[in-house]
Amino acid sequence: MNEALVVTVHASVAEVDRATWDALCTSDSGANPFVRHGFLSALEDAGAITRATGWTPRYLVARAAGRVVGIAPAFIKTHSMGEFVYDWAWADAAQRAGLRYYPKLVIASPFSPVTGRRLLVSPELDEGVARGVRRALLEAALEYAANEKLAGVHLLFALEDEIRLAEKVGFCHRLGAQYHWENSDATGAPYADFEAFIARFPSKRRNQIRRERRRVQEAGVEVRHYVGEQVEDRFIAPAFAFYGATVDRYVWGRRYLDERFFELLWQRMRPFIHLTLAWRGDTIVGGTLDLQEGQRRWGRYWGALADIDSLHFEVCEYGAIEDCIETGVGVFEAGAGGEHKLARGFLPSPTHSAHLLFEPRFQASIAEFCAHEADALAHRIVSLRDEVFVR
């Protein structure tokens, strides 16, 4: 690329044309629905990401000869809620040392613990040029954060090549873990059906899974799946109710999203929505709203509107896995946390983030911590993967 690269900062996703933005979000490049224009604009227009909620949009847009060639979704944060890379201990340590930890700049998808491309570039660029654009976006983030006197920059749930690039400009790498279901049997082939999947478990575990599924059926519940145009507008209210019911169960829960967000999601992201609903007769008693692109599905907003034994497992795990097998989905990410997922065939998978704090001594301490944490966690991931199925 011979043209000079210029990176500008924008306060709204609406300042970039949707088609231009989404042209950079190709699934084969590692992008996913959570960095698409429709998802981010729905969060903005519903008031979920604003200064008032502690998520101030500051999108970094790289242009060459006036043409958009790169984008990084970035936000000024005044807290760590909704990030899922847990740095509360770092913030506490900074406060005790008399240092600022907030505000900070995060390059991320809000409220979405989903690994994917964070430094988006045009698929028309060759590899070397694309790498240069990504580096320019990172350097622009650092320059902007320094000029605004922010405490640091954080790159969350990024791809490994982005992490390596971030390390070259001074970030430290933090390893994390989630639990993902993989459509791959012991030979590496896709599962033939759900029974082929649970055949990999010891008999005691297989029987428990069958019992849990039977309890839901005996309660008169039928689970159905809806995609694309099957996701009717009448399902907006129950989907929002699922989200609210789950958030309200926990003392730390906070309703960042309102029903308007779900309405906008239906309008702007319907082709990516995969909705699982649990019906008892003509009544919806629970369900989950997932997003899907290509051969990957992401579990997002679950909830139950009735107290039914094992409904969570059926809707969020077993029913979803069965549908993934039937429709040829390769990987199902059921969200953050939940070591109970191991017993249901979800394998520990690494996640990656990168962090650069402008106070040098604090950065050195964080880097040392991340190195020790990663060493222990990497061994833990390997160990747990070996324990999930019968050998």
Cβ–Cβ < 8 Å for 38, 261: no
Instruction: Read off the pLDDT of residues 8-49 as tens digits, 9 standing for 90 and up.
Output: 999 999 999 999 999 999 887 888 999 999 999 999 999 999
Q: Which tokens belong to 118? A: 């964070």
Written as six digits, the tokens of 387 are: 């324990």
Q: Residue 172's beta-bridge partner residues? A: 355
Give residue 80's pLDDT.
95
- Assign a CATH topology to domain 5-176+349-387: Aminopeptidase (3.40.630)
User: What does R_g of the chain's alpha carbons equal in angstroms?
Assistant: 21
Which ranges of the chain have pLDDT less than 50? Answer: none
Predicted pLDDT at 338: 76
**Of 140, 14, 119, 7, whose CA–CA distance to 62 is shortest?**
7
What is the predicted pLDDT for the residue at 1? 56
- Judge contact between 245 and 306, C-beta under 8 A: no
d(CA 102, CA 109): 18
Beta strands in the chain (DSSP E): 5-10, 55-57, 59-64, 67-72, 74-77, 104-107, 120-121, 152-155, 172-182, 221-227, 273-280, 283-293, 296-304, 331-333, 347-357
Q: Domain spanning 184-329: which superfamily? A: Gcn5-related N-acetyltransferase (GNAT) (3.40.630.30)
pLDDT in tens, 215-233: 999 999 999 999 999 999 9
- Predicted confidence at residue 26, as pLDDT, reads 85
Spell 334-352 as b/e; 16+ CB within 10 A means b: bbbeeeebeebbbbbbebb
Q: CA-CA distance, 350 to 320, in Å (whole number)?
A: 22
CATH 3.40.630.30 domain extents, the chain: 5-176+349-387, 184-329
